[in-house]
Structure 1
């Protein structure tokens, strides 16, 4: 299979942004004065690489030879037969090196850091996949790395913490607030304020102050470039709908961008419905209509906030979707009606996960399973001539503890108790 993305430089998301970094009413750059030089430097170099064919070719070559791109678009024949409705295709970002789409952006930004002469990269992470990807590219390119992660997320995703450390990164737990992604972002920004002369912040999602949403969307656009080419080869036409989970928005924008010009293709972002609309335990900023425009962490978007403008705590079974804001690009596209938002509850996600595993032999990450659940909500209204594409943004190995808990697996509980007893015996 050829490297479809290497032929030309995609730039779909960057056609939407204004000169001052806004996507409609959202985006912008609300940063402390001390970081103005850092953002000016990043903006200048990003503008250069957007038009640099040699940089893009080097990036694509590393993705092909190191990460294993292009990832396949798999026809889900048994899942399709199960519903007897739309034909379902799955974009397999789980087969990207480190098991998720996150490496696309981490590798691109690490190359950008090298171009700027930086020797250190820092990052925030929720589910841990971006942290692992950042630690991985740091090892590959000879950079030092520090990863910030909320203590709650560290407990939920300790396997990824283990791998980050083994890869040579320093992992710093964040013990305040909700101890999740928003707090990890805040702590990473604090680090960067005092270290930007030698350090680049590899922001993991298409949020934050300009130009970060554009940078992340740019590097993740390779997903959609491949997907569009692959579905045309496989089916001879474009899909009717494309589904992706939405935390911050990087994998969704990655797969959506190639279809922006094609209004006949429905784009559906699926947020974390948690314990449901009537609970306070969710992270559905747009789907439940509870998000309000606000400014935090350097940009303006739809945040879950109370009447005083304070950010609410969020919840999801999937750590990577447990975020209070959403990409300003997606907030704008939602307002314009180009992207529709849905939400999947924890219960729907667990049910969808079991179905995908047993019909297709795939284990999607809990984040990615939200996209499956969103597609399954709609599939009864589809016809056999329709085509759905679901972006499987990552694999579920990292989620084994949470999945076992969600399934109430008694054998797994017994295994954990036995291992705990063994450790206690060894420590005596």
Structure 2
């Protein structure tokens, strides 16, 4: 039974309900022009993704195109340093270099079954943009990716990859010129092209059913963690699962099969930027309050009169003023613990992994690694860190710290 089928139609303490809410967060707050598109997805996505022919094609591509299952690697030298047992879920070894492709493959198969032949997407770090451009090339569909002007500059290798794959990269020049603004532009594009275009959202954000749909496609991560950990240790459940959270797709995937396992501590690393109270941060759960952004109710950083506060992070993929509604519920309920990791801490953790294990992580993933020094995990405990992406795209940033 696949991860998607296991949870089909179930309502758990931390799953989405029939109206698209996780506790008090979620829903679909959308302009009237988008209502037909979103309703079409709401009415059809569960039925489509549970069909045997969909699952057969999805699982085949995950195995033979993406390269799944990704390894669960015991980090020996890192474990020695922190005096616990640390495993790295190697999503950095996926085709395209990050976990994002799990979701884009699922959504491109869904889009084709809905009769859509054009794709629009947003991207911050560029990994979702690359993953979207990749599956559009694979399936022969037109692809437009919106990306903030600042992110285009700091993620130049991924911009080049998207263009080589045949995608049109359109700059978002409003606001902070980062992920939030790229998402705004992609939503506007979808509103203006509702009939033939599917919007592949890259994270567990946006109107229902996107948060649930993306989490289901990413849940292959935790599904594999359970079976691989059992194979290595004789038990399915780790003591800790750590993942970085911007919108939160890699964390949703890593947490998914442990949500209703209270003995598994879920740990989320947010981007603290220059410090929580520096005015240059993206630590949403520390600075935010309930509000609506990009089609769902969640926690977001905003002024007293409801204007979105511009976020800051050294990592383009975490440079977002909110979190997905699932993560807002995990935070609000106390099911997950959130840490704010500064830019400098993430860089330090990235260099540490590189020198101890010979693995260069994406700066986003380095935020999760940085939590290790705060855990004080026991010698007999097991810690899984989701290594969501590889660091090739961030080499220019890392080099500034040498």
Distance (whole Å) between structure 2 residues aligned to residue 290 and residue 261 of structure 1: 27
User: Structure 2 vs 1, CA of residues 178 and 277 (structure 1 numbering), >3 Å: closer, same or farther?
Assistant: same
Alpha carbons of structure 1 residues 396 and 200: separation in structure 2 relative to 1, 3 Å: same
Deviation at 1:8, TM superposition (A): 6.9
Written as runs of structure 1 = structure 2, the 5 A alignment for 1:87-126 is 87-126=85-124
Unmatched 5+ residue regions in structure 2?
Answer: none
* CA gap 1:187/1:7 in 2 versus in 1, 3 angstroms: closer
Match of 1:312 among 309, 312, 319: 309
Normalised TM-score (structure 1): 0.91
Checking the alignment, whether the CA contact within 8 Å between 1:94 and 1:100 is kept in structure 2 is yes
In structure 2, what is the equivalent of residue 17 of structure 1?
A: 16
- 1:41-88 Cα offsets, whole Å, 9 max, x none, are 1122202124323312210111101110000000001111122x1100
Aligned to 1:357: 354
Q: CA deviation at 1:296?
A: 2.0
- Structure 1 residues 289-324: Cα deviation after superposition (integer angstroms, max 9, x where no partner): 211100121111000011111000111110000001
Counterpart Cα distance in 2 of 1:343 and 1:156: 22
Give the number of equivalent residue pairs.
398
Q: More displaced, 266-275 or 338-347?
A: 338-347
Does the 8 Å contact 1:49/1:56 carry over to 2?
no
Contact 1:272 1:345 in 2 (8 A): yes
Alignment equivalent of 1:296, drawn from 293, 296, 300? 293
> Highest Rg: 1 or 2?
1
Q: CA deviation at 1:263?
A: 0.6
Kindly indicate whether the alpha-carbon contact (under 8 Å) linking 1:13 and 1:217 is maintained by their aligned counterparts in 2.
no
- Written as runs of structure 1 = structure 2, the 5 A alignment for 1:192-211 is 192-211=190-209
What whole-Å deviation, never above 9, does each CA across 1:92-126 have from its counterpart, x for those lacking one? 00000000000000110000000011111110000
**Alignment partner of 1:248 is 2:247:** yes
Report the secondary structure of 2:215's partner residue. Answer: helix
- Give 1:403 deviation, angstroms: 1.1
Query: Against the structure 1 CA distance between its residues 279 and 94, is the aligned structure 2 distance closer, same or farther, given a 3 Å change threshold?
Result: same
Question: Which moves more between the two structures, 36-45 or 173-182?
Answer: 36-45
Cα RMSD (Å)? 1.4
In 2 relative to 1, CA 176–7 (structure 1 residues): closer, same or farther, beyond 3 Å? closer
Task: Decide which of 143, 157, 160 is 2:158's aligned counterpart.
Answer: 160
Aligned counterpart, 1:415:
none
Contact 1:9/1:56 (8 A) holds in 2: no
Q: Secondary structure at the residue paired with 1:334?
A: helix
Select 2:126's aligned residue among 114, 125, 128.
Answer: 128
The answer to whether the 8 Å contact 1:363/1:396 transfers is yes
2:374 paired residue number:
377
**Kept in 1: contact 2:49–2:110 (CA 8 A):** no
- Aligned partner of 2:29 in structure 1 is 30
TM-score (norm 2): 0.97
Which of 337, 344, 347 lines up with 2:344 in the alignment?
A: 347
Counterparts of 1:299 and 1:7, CA distance in 2: 24
